[in-house]
Amino acid sequence: MERAALTLEPIVPLPPDWPKAPLAVVDALLTAPGAKFEMETVEIRGIPTRVWKNSPPNAAILARLARGYGDRPFTVYQDERVSYEANYRATCHLATWMQAHGVAKGDRVALAMRNLPEWPTIFFAAVSIGAILVPLNAWWTGAELEFGMQDSGAKLLFVDGERHERLKQCYAALPDLERVVVSRACSPLEGEAVALESILGPCNSWAALADIAFPEVAIAPDDEVTLFYTSGTTGNPKGAVGTHRNLMTNILTSGYSVARAMLRRGEVPPPAPPYKVGLLVIPLFHVTACSAGLMALIAAGGTVVFMRRWDATEAMAIIEREKVNQTGGVPTIAWQLLEHPERANYDLSSLETISYGGAPSAPELVKRIYEEFGALPGNGWGMTETMATVTHHTGEDYLARPTSAGPPVPVAELKIMDVDGTRELPVGEVGELWAKGPMIVKGYWNKPEATAETFRDGWVRTGDLARLDDEGFLYVVDRAKDIIIRGGENIYSSEVEDVLYAHPAVTDAALIGVPHRSLGEEPVAVVHLAPGMTASEAELQQWVAARIAAFKVPVSIRFSRETLPRNANGKILKKELRGMFFGEAAA
């Protein structure tokens, strides 16, 4: 493949003596024997793999250690405040309740709800007794949620009131489901459903729960812990089987990234992470929020602030009131804060970092975060199959290379392979990105063929087209998989196309992503109608909206008089469609 240009592209003036040390020197210092970020090599499923030596062995240990933060606020949601001690007591009580109702190691426990204080409590209660937690996308329709329940075989389901209303008609069709627990019910509960409040009481009362013993269950680092659902470009979603090691790896990965940036600018990292308040606005059913965000904040004793839904004005009020130090998630959030007409009315000076991933971001955004907020921007690369972070980019390194996703953390390895997956390409050439490390999940739930295709000898074939520069910085240049990322949410074209094809007037359909300044991309459909048939843009959008989640609905539908262009194998040439309908910028 063609070799891409390797250039530094600083967007703000950097100190003439930056960096104080090369990356290789910083890595060697931070990972030296006896250091906090020391590494060792262990066998994971028969493959020698570098790991963080000091990473917690499992999530149950993390839950116990976090109790040490005592009365420090753990979660804040509106007027509800839960301390670390209160959350620990609620976790013990709920874990004990689960065991008493037959939940054992390896059982699947599904969780479908908004970001609420009970979300992490349910999460840690389940995984601390060896159960496999299945975070379901709270934006899914009832049918989509039902599929996740059937595929995972979950025997216990925790839902908030909204998801209960969406799913309750499906419970009888789920043979594995034994019990449903509803939090914040919207209507009186019927049948076998029980209220979470009847087990734990309201969140603000958890500190008064009795101090009971933490459940004792033997859990190894490579035992299964989560099923986060992802989707390929064809077929139904796939459950990525995560392990405790996968989940715990991000704790030291996050700390390492901060320490590396400090040493690069000549500062000495503190012996313990300072207290931080984080506004977590992306859903916890994503690995970015749960693994990269929540786990790192808990390990450092930080406070996690939740919002019911994203609203820039409310977010600014929360940042001012709670003295939030870090937020982000997707570029949309940063754009809306920067461009809000009332921004000057709020004190946002506590913000230190705004980090994001999951969607393309413009160098202009990196510059404005730094210059207007006085905060350090950050991004990184990862995917559901990597339990989030593989590369991380922050501070001056990000300002120097704003189009990069950063270098891999030391326990991760990257390589660029040719399209056949048989030959590693030289530095600078574009090919398929492969990744390896302790964050790579075991495979896909009950899908051995898909697992064998994607996971090879410890490596995951990402489907992203990328290149590496001479210092190992990653540049993702395109997605080989047909995914559109809208504000951090993955939209899989084939799913939307299948719904369009189901309309009686549509004979050809293709979904493509077009650039959007703050969302990264938006989905636009191109359709060809059957002769003699008619359908309007609004009609087709309503057709899609009635069948799948709202964020997947095309924002625009273009009509082609001819059948859509295809290659010799019959595949629609989406690049041609982008050029025909949206010009070179989208092509």
Half-sphere exposure of residue 28: CA atoms within 13 angstroms, side-chain side:
5
Residue 136 has pLDDT above 50, yes or no: yes
What is the 8-class DSSP label of residue 257? H
62 membership: H or E segment, kind and range: helix 59-66
Confidence class for position 566, pLDDT limits 50, 70, 90 = confident
Contacts (Cβ under 8 Å, ≥6 apart) of 309: 114
Confidence class for position 333, pLDDT limits 50, 70, 90 = confident
Residue 8 has pLDDT above 80, yes or no: no
Residue 330, phi-psi category: left (phi > 0), alpha (psi -120 to 50), beta (remainder): beta
Residue 568 has pLDDT above 70, yes or no: no
The CATH class given to the 84-219 domain equals: alpha beta
Q: What is the mean pLDDT of residues 427-442?
A: 96
Q: What is the mean pLDDT of residues 557-581?
A: 77
> CA 369 to CA 141: how far, in whole Å?
35
> Higher model confidence: residue 581 or residue 463?
463
> CA 365 to CA 403: how far, in whole Å?
11
Residue 207 has pLDDT above 70, yes or no: yes
Contacts (Cβ under 8 Å, ≥6 apart) of 412: 390, 391, 435, 436, 437, 439
What is the 8-class DSSP label of residue 406? B
Contact 158, 138 (CB under 8 A): no
Q: pLDDT, tens digit, for every residue of 294-303?
A: 999 999 999 9
> CA 195 to CA 189: how far, in whole Å?
8
Confidence class for position 237, pLDDT limits 50, 70, 90 = confident
> CA 507 to CA 534: how far, in whole Å?
11
Confidence class for position 584, pLDDT limits 50, 70, 90 = very low
- At 374, list the tokens: 């006085």
CATH of 23-56+247-479, one of 3.40.50.720, 3.40.50.12780, 3.40.1710.10, 2.40.30.170: 3.40.50.12780
Contacts (Cβ under 8 Å, ≥6 apart) of 6: 427, 428, 469, 470
Residues of the chain with CATH 3.30.300.30: 483-586
Q: pLDDT, tens digit, for every residue of 166-185?
A: 999 999 999 999 999 999 99
pLDDT at 504: 86
For tokens 């301390």, what's the residue? 83
Percent of the chain past pLDDT 90, that is, above it, reads 74
Confidence class for position 356, pLDDT limits 50, 70, 90 = confident
Q: What is the CATH code of the structural domain delimited by 483-586?
A: 3.30.300.30
> CA 402 to CA 473: how far, in whole Å?
11
pLDDT at 533: 86
User: Following DSSP, what letter does each residue of 420-465 receive, concatenated?
Assistant: TSSSBPPTTB-EEEEEESTTS--EETT-HHHHHHHEETTEEEEEEE
Contact 32, 194 (CB under 8 A): no
Confidence class for position 587, pLDDT limits 50, 70, 90 = very low
pLDDT at 501: 83
Instruction: Write down the number of H helices and E strands in the chain.
Output: 18, 28
Residues of the chain with CATH 3.40.50.12780: 23-56+247-479
pLDDT at 3: 39
Percent of the chain past pLDDT 70, that is, above it, reads 94
CA dihedral 459, 461, 465, 471 (to 10 degrees): 0
Contact 53, 39 (CB under 8 A): yes
pLDDT at 320: 98
Residues of the chain with CATH 3.40.50.980: 84-219
What is the 8-class DSSP label of residue 555? S
pLDDT at 205: 97
Q: How far is CA 1 from CA 416, 460, 567, in A?
A: 11, 21, 21
Question: In the predicted model, what is the mean pLDDT of the chain?
Answer: 91
Instruction: Count the Cβ atoms, other than its own, within 10 Å of residue 80.
Output: 15
Contact 130, 103 (CB under 8 A): no
Contacts (Cβ under 8 Å, ≥6 apart) of 400: 8, 9, 10, 14
What is the 8-class DSSP label of residue 541? H
Residue 232 has pLDDT above 60, yes or no: no
pLDDT at 80: 97
Contacts (Cβ under 8 Å, ≥6 apart) of 365: 331, 334, 335, 338, 377
Contact 315, 329 (CB under 8 A): no
Confidence class for position 488, pLDDT limits 50, 70, 90 = confident
